[in-house]
Structure 1
Amino acid sequence: MSFLNPSALIALAAVSIPILIHLLNLRKIKKVEFSTLMFLKEIQKSKMRRIKLKQLLLLLFRIMAIIFLVLSFSKPVYEGYAGNNANSSKSAALIFMDDSFSMNARDNNGLYFAKAVESVKNILDIHKESSEIYFIPFSKIGLKNNNFLKNSTEEVLNELKDLKISYKYTSMPVILDLAGEICASSKNDMKEIYIISDFQKSNFNIAQPEKIEFENPRSLNAKTYLLNIGSREVNNLSLDSFKVKTDLPEKDKDIKVNININNFSQYNVSNKTVNLIIENEFVSSKVTDAGSYSRNELEFKFKSKKSGNIHGYFELVQNVFSEDELIQDNKYYFNIFIPEKFNVLLIEENLSQVSFLETAINSANDLLSDSVKSKIEMFVISRDKTVDENIFKNDVVFISDKKSFTDYEGEMLKKYISEGGGVFIFPGKNADINSYNNLLTGKLNSLRLESLNSNKEENVNLKFEKIDFEHPVLSGVFRNQSLNITSQKYLVESPVISSYYTLLPGGNVSSLITLNNNKLFIAESKLSKGKVMISSVSAENEFSDFPFKTIFLPIIIRSIYYLGNSFGFQSEYVIGKNNLVVVQGVRNISSLVLPDKKVAGLNTAATFSESDENIIYLPYSEITSVPGEYSLQDSAGMSFSFPLNYNSNESNTLKMSEEETTKYFEKSGVKDLKYIQNPDELTKVVTETRTGFGLWKYMLIGALIFLLAEIFLSKYLEKS
């Protein structure tokens, strides 16, 4: 404690006045002798002791009243952490400002974002030009080569003018880590951290803030101010969690897609409209209700008029502002890629004659051409006898009646499948079982091929029994789609089987079709990014009449879609993250087309992954900071589109309480903490915390209390 007016302490000499008066008033009691009433002396002595005690107490009250009155005029101050150096020493100020779209809400004090900007200006007024000023909007965290240290307050003010609401979500641990790095590098003794935010619970990445525990708490050697913006929880509706429900999306066929609508408020809402837009054309809409703090899944259906990149978005209509105060999360973009063609490689021992596989695939091309009355070659076929590096130029590989595999061929197939390729194997009658097992079990971690069963009398009764109708290859092929086990009551086109190989499944194998003797007919296994399908019969007619059945063609064609790994959708590319974009159909990418159709160079936006040429590393940058459709273009004029969306965590507007927030920061290692509920009190709180606060009011109150006590005791003594 120090005094702003220490000269007033001289007046403490006035304490001697009541002491002198007390001494002068002391008199010896006049003795009166009562020979017959000696006990009165004892009564008199006892009474005088009580009177003296009250007089001493009265003296104490007068002394304390004078002392507190003098101290009040001397202006005592409780020193803050800056002490006497508050106006002379240099300091470092770290200003973290929340500019996410949840700050677009408002309360009685106005727009959250505007209040945050005003608070930054107030902080700048507190600091001198000689101070180190770090201005860190949440949206700038994660940007490459971003300098948060500003040369002057004027530079911060200019940046504030250009700052707008962003779509980036930032977690509080990221902010604390960055604050720790800056504080560790700053050489100033006095460091202050300001975090200006609405403090959503979603920013803290925890379900129960009061139970949070940190294994390695941070140690921030700085005074931390938490400035709460917003006095209420905002009502908000949002869209997220896009899904494609159709297993194999195809052109001119129904594609089912789902989207979730979330209600982040304590009130139920009704008649909310969600629109589906495909290729900038309205397709359909759904009207739904949403209960308080609930999530509803909506299903839409549309037909694509083209192959390739199909882009679209869902839009939640804001019809009542009070029920949906934030519009930044009312659009959710998505992209579906339907391949325009497949490169199919047939590995066959006999290339002199046309196989059933080639006939089936060519028939599919003819059917597609007839449907649009123009020549379409969706499936481009090439043939070979051996497996070599050429398989990497193809989307799908069919291996039919191949006798054996060399070690080199096995390694090529393993690499091809591991990198995302698809292979369908049809063993023939001359198959070398040991060679097949070296490939299937040894390299592909798949099933084992056992002996060839050629007992026609036993095999004549074989039929399909268990069918995985939900598998993408088989869904829609059979009539009894709602079942997974066939019976005589339902018609299933089972082939007549004379011979088949016994397939022994391992833990990595799933059955597509099982015969009524519990043996596998078609099975599948996966290896890293790719898939392998194996048939127990040949693709020719030497084992069965499977190639003549009507199910043969759809199974072959749908397996191309499935194994080709070329169709796909991706909705989880999020603004603010470093995304790995899986590209299809483009090579030598040269530029990135933004949602506003501006073109950015690839060097400034993305780079190829070192491990996979089909993956683009897309870091967070200013040109990828808004949601929408982005397109990668290559030197040949080909393009691939993908969506970027907001982080759905930002849509949850539930706020942390003051107790929860301070407890979180304290447990994370931030000990010197001040929570400011009202932004208008920022300057006052910071100044008092820095320099200390005056105690003269409390001293004056103390003086008045002792004066009142003195008056009361004096009156009492007079009466007695």
Structure 2
Amino acid sequence: MTFLSPWMLAGAAAVGIPIALHFFYKARYQRLPWAAMDFLKEAIEQTSRRLKFQEWILLALRCLVILLLALALARPGLDAAGAGGRGEAVDAVLVFDTSFSMGADDGDGKTRLDRAKEAALGVIESLPPKSTVQVILCGDRAENIGPKSRSNLDQARQLIPTLQTTGLSSDFLPGFAAAHTAAESGTAPVREVYLFSDLQKLGFERQQGALRDKCDELRGKSNLVFVRCGSEGRKVSNVAVTDVTAVGTIPHTKSRVPFVVSVKNTGAEVAKGIKVGLELAGKQVQDVVQVDGIEPGQVVPVTLTGNLEDAGPQVLTVRVSGDRLPGDNRFDRVILVREAIRVLLVDGNPNREMPVESASHFVRTALTPVAQDRTEDYFVRPAVAAASEVGPGMLANFDIVYLLNAPAATPADPRAGLPADFVARLREFVASGGGLVIGGGDQAIPTDYNRVLGSGGAGLLPFDLSGEPANATETAPFVPAPESVEVPSFLAAFKERPFSDALRGVTITKLHPLATDGPGAAGGRVLVRTGDGKPFITSRVVGEGEVVFVATSLDERWTNFPGRASDAFVPFTQYTLAHLTARKVPGGTRTAGEPLVWHPPEADGLFDLVKPPRDGEKDGRRVRLDKARAGAGGKATLTATDTADSGLYRIVAEGRPDSTGPVFAVNPDLRDSANLDVASVADLTKMLGFEPAVIQAGAGTEAAVTQQRARREWTEYVLLLLLLAAVGESAWAWLCGRAW
């Protein structure tokens, strides 16, 4: 318990007054002997005990009256945090949940954030004079936005209507941590922290243990109130765009490409009348398609087709409508529309007389799956070179490199295999976003490969080779297992028919064993295994690029994988090409909250981050970035972390137009709408370990806040007891016939 006016407890010392009167105020009289009194002596002795008992009760009632008066003047409360007495100044901290689920419409035309703003203004109106206000925004990070003068409530009133949702997901721990810091900096005798939120379960569950501790810490010094902005029982109808990908081809100029849009119903009811549209570079490329009857939790693929005319980075935008949560109804992806893709095939056995024994023959055929007379005009342009002919300067003109049974240099004869300067440049090529595919064979000697390309050298092998090739027979070959295909990966389609059937048709008689354990295995990933668990296709991300290793040969000497006996090689080659070329896209696609990283060609000078315009803004806001720093490989690196809003960002040099520089598509964090369940009071009590004060945002918010403050002070109850004690004392004194 605490007291708003503890000095008033000194008045309790007045309890000595009735005690003094009781013992020292006596009626004065003289003793007169009277024989008749002897007869009354016995009766007086009988009544004296009754009179003393009545006087003791009267004394206790009078002492109680004085004690209750002192207690009422001291204004008792629950504790130090809850001493929110009326009339006392309050340091109020208003924490707003700005995750995109707060943009949900509960059916009356108001979003949950609109309700939060109205409720917050009601809280400000209820504050006593000389109170202060601080406003904190909270998604999965916190930001104290003012006002500049915390005692200027008018500034806070003007600031609150400007708040908007972000693309972040719910996490209340950062907001409460910032609120605790803000509350501690206050000087008023009373501190109050309000969370304005739809109270989505995700915000409490992401860091539940730490959040529970922080709430206990807050409650020790502040009054903590949850303001529910939305209806606990109303279910929100929502669909989200989770992805959009090109199907069957690599985006290139003068082509019409089908894109598959994944739409998921994250609500609790069937979504009907959902409309899906596709835009490229801000222009609609196909009429809107309507989808009916998406069941809760169901993901529906929608195929939309767009014409690609211009080469370079293009923004592909999907928009949906028809639900009550617009925050996840837009999905942007930066795609690189290519005029041509140039592939270098480094062949260790370029047998021009018998091309069927050369891996480059099969790979080149799979890269250009068109009629022979059309290969020259096809957008994929492969070129073949012998391993002894390659040099570092060749890599500047290619997007993808294949090493096909290419021998590595040996200590005895460094010129017998891939040149050292070529391997060094190849490492830089991959790290800067290039793609590398390595096929095995009899010239892939394990010791030389591990020393030159593996963990002992350039670090380009997903896993080191662990020994001589494992042999099988044609009657009992190694067979890839479709059920082993890693998901998610660019080969995920091989887990399902018809590609899974094609993969089962592959037979392998020789296979490189790989060391999937040990220091050199860190970062490697097995994408496909054989039926007996041996790695078949593996990969490793190196810098901004990626390496894919096939543990058998890519000609027909070890396997039928590249030949006509298998229908798997062409789709494998196309999926690999699409995946590796997609990594080298200026800018890129990110999720809200993730940093944007760019390597400017010139490190000198200043750069700005151009953020997407918010509601009511025509142009994006420019934010100054720190200077470029040397990153991996000595490359200049710029990093932007202010990415809470979803939309299109650019990093541009100072003084350059907003349209220059790489474009980044930042999409909302879909964890916020993956589960739209909100927490009840019982849920909050279980998760936080105490029953919190929860009020509903609405017309009565101001009155509810005032009532919450009144409940924290016991003065009314003490005054009521004082009245009852005073009435009891008066009645008892009258019964006893006492005048004072």
**Are 2:664 and 1:664 aligned?**
no
Contact 1:242 1:571 survives alignment (8 Å): no
Q: Hey, what does 1:272 align to over in structure 2?
A: 272
**Are 2:616 and 1:617 aligned?**
no
**Are 2:546 and 1:526 aligned?**
no
Q: 1:287 aligns with which of 280, 285, 292?
A: 292
Instruction: Give distance in 2, aligned partners of 1:477 and 1:187.
Output: 60
Instruction: Give distance in 1, aligned partners of 2:83 and 2:250.
Output: 75
Instruction: Give distance in 1, aligned partners of 2:581 and 2:35.
Output: 119
* Distance of aligned partners of 1:245 and 1:55 in 2 relative to their CA distance in 1, 3 Å threshold: farther
TM-score (norm 2): 0.66
Instruction: Give distance in 2, aligned partners of 1:16 and 1:144.
Output: 61
**Are 2:341 and 1:342 aligned?**
yes
Q: Hey, what does 1:386 align to over in structure 2?
A: 390
**Amino acid across the alignment from 2:51:** Q
Q: 2:115 aligns with which of 112, 121, 124?
A: 112
Q: Tell me the CA shift for residue 661 of structure 1.
A: 6.0
Q: Tell me the CA shift for residue 700 of structure 1.
A: 0.4
Q: Tell me the CA shift for residue 368 of structure 1.
A: 9.3
Q: SS of 1:682's equivalent?
A: helix
Contact 1:198 1:230 survives alignment (8 Å): yes
**Are 2:199 and 1:200 aligned?**
yes
Instruction: Give distance in 1, aligned partners of 2:7 and 2:106.
Output: 43
* Distance of aligned partners of 1:401 and 1:85 in 2 relative to their CA distance in 1, 3 Å threshold: closer
Q: SS of 1:236's equivalent?
A: coil
**Amino acid across the alignment from 1:344:** V
**Amino acid across the alignment from 1:611:** G
Q: Hey, what does 2:437 align to over in structure 1?
A: 424
Structure 1: tracts of 5 or more residues without a match:
34-40, 319-325, 487-491, 668-672, 715-720
- Deviation per CA, 1:117-137: give whole Å up to 9, x if none: 3234225x5242xx6653334
Q: Tell me the CA shift for residue 648 of structure 1.
A: 3.9
Q: Hey, what does 1:652 align to over in structure 2?
A: 676
Q: Is 141-150 or 420-429 further displaced after alignment? A: 141-150
Q: Tell me the CA shift for residue 85 of structure 1.
A: 14
Q: Tell me the CA shift for residue 154 of structure 1.
A: 3.0
**Amino acid across the alignment from 1:113:** A
* Distance of aligned partners of 1:299 and 1:8 in 2 relative to their CA distance in 1, 3 Å threshold: same
Q: Hey, what does 1:178 align to over in structure 2?
A: 178
* Distance of aligned partners of 1:368 and 1:63 in 2 relative to their CA distance in 1, 3 Å threshold: farther
Q: Hey, what does 1:670 align to over in structure 2?
A: none
Q: SS of 1:701's equivalent?
A: helix
Q: 2:513 aligns with which of 504, 529, 541?
A: 504
**Are 2:391 and 1:395 aligned?**
no
**Amino acid across the alignment from 2:172:** M
Contact 1:520 1:536 survives alignment (8 Å): no
Instruction: Give distance in 2, aligned partners of 1:104 and 1:30.
Output: 93
Contact 1:240 1:648 survives alignment (8 Å): no
Q: Hey, what does 2:449 align to over in structure 1?
A: 436
Contact 1:475 1:481 survives alignment (8 Å): yes
* Distance of aligned partners of 1:696 and 1:402 in 2 relative to their CA distance in 1, 3 Å threshold: closer
Q: Is 156-165 or 209-218 further displaced after alignment? A: 209-218
Task: Report how many aligned residue pairs link the two structures.
Answer: 659
Structure 2: tracts of 5 or more residues without a match:
1-5, 410-418, 517-523
Contact 1:135 1:148 survives alignment (8 Å): no
Correspondences of 1:297-446 after superposition (within 5 Å): 297-306=299-308, 309=314, 311-318=316-323, 326-329=324-327, 331-335=329-333, 337=335, 339-340=337-338, 341-348=340-347, 357=360, 361=364, 367=370, 375-379=377-381, 381=383, 385-386=389-390, 388=392, 391=395, 394-400=398-404, 402-405=406-409, 409-414=422-427, 416-417=429-430, 421-426=434-439, 434-439=447-452, 441=454, 442=456, 443=459, 444=461, 446=463
* Distance of aligned partners of 1:48 and 1:467 in 2 relative to their CA distance in 1, 3 Å threshold: same
Instruction: Give distance in 1, aligned partners of 2:180 and 2:372.
Output: 64
Q: Tell me the CA shift for residue 699 of structure 1.
A: 0.2
Q: Hey, what does 1:322 align to over in structure 2?
A: none
Instruction: Give distance in 2, aligned partners of 1:275 and 1:112.
Output: 28
Instruction: Give distance in 2, aligned partners of 1:554 and 1:631.
Output: 35
Instruction: Give distance in 2, aligned partners of 1:209 and 1:9.
Output: 52
CA RMSD of aligned residues (A): 6.2
Q: SS of 1:192's equivalent?
A: strand
**Amino acid across the alignment from 2:121:** E
Instruction: Give distance in 2, aligned partners of 1:482 and 1:140.
Output: 41
Instruction: Give distance in 2, aligned partners of 1:207 and 1:521.
Output: 36
Q: Tell me the CA shift for residue 679 of structure 1.
A: 4.0
TM-score (norm 1): 0.68
**Amino acid across the alignment from 1:438:** R
Q: Hey, what does 1:36 align to over in structure 2?
A: none
* Distance of aligned partners of 1:629 and 1:619 in 2 relative to their CA distance in 1, 3 Å threshold: same
* Distance of aligned partners of 1:584 and 1:530 in 2 relative to their CA distance in 1, 3 Å threshold: farther
Instruction: Give distance in 2, aligned partners of 1:97 and 1:432.
Output: 62
- Deviation per CA, 1:588-629: give whole Å up to 9, x if none: 9987473689554775479878536798734236xx63x445
Q: Is 518-527 or 101-110 further displaced after alignment? A: 101-110
Q: 1:448 aligns with which of 454, 460, 465?
A: 465
* Distance of aligned partners of 1:681 and 1:393 in 2 relative to their CA distance in 1, 3 Å threshold: same
**Amino acid across the alignment from 1:654:** V
* Distance of aligned partners of 1:676 and 1:484 in 2 relative to their CA distance in 1, 3 Å threshold: same
Q: Tell me the CA shift for residue 396 of structure 1.
A: 1.6
Correspondences of 1:560-709 after superposition (within 5 Å): 560-566=577-583, 573-575=590-592, 577-580=593-596, 592=610, 594=612, 600=620, 604=624, 611=631, 617-620=639-642, 625=645, 627-630=646-649, 640=663, 642-645=665-668, 648-649=671-672, 652=676, 654-657=678-681, 660=684, 664=688, 679-683=702-706, 686=709, 695-706=718-729
Q: Tell me the CA shift for residue 397 of structure 1.
A: 0.8
Q: 1:536 aligns with which of 552, 564, 577?
A: 552
Q: Is 470-479 or 379-388 further displaced after alignment? A: 470-479
Bigger radius of gyration: 1
* Distance of aligned partners of 1:199 and 1:482 in 2 relative to their CA distance in 1, 3 Å threshold: closer
- Deviation per CA, 1:185-215: give whole Å up to 9, x if none: x484746243242461536432796997649
Contact 2:481 2:528 survives alignment (8 Å): yes
Contact 2:341 2:381 survives alignment (8 Å): yes
Q: 2:264 aligns with which of 238, 256, 260?
A: 260
Q: Tell me the CA shift for residue 535 of structure 1.
A: 5.7
Contact 1:400 1:425 survives alignment (8 Å): yes
Q: SS of 1:76's equivalent?
A: helix
Contact 1:271 1:287 survives alignment (8 Å): yes
Q: 1:78 aligns with which of 52, 75, 82?
A: 75
Higher relative contact order (CA 8 A, sep 6+): 1
Instruction: Give distance in 2, aligned partners of 1:628 and 1:285.
Output: 24
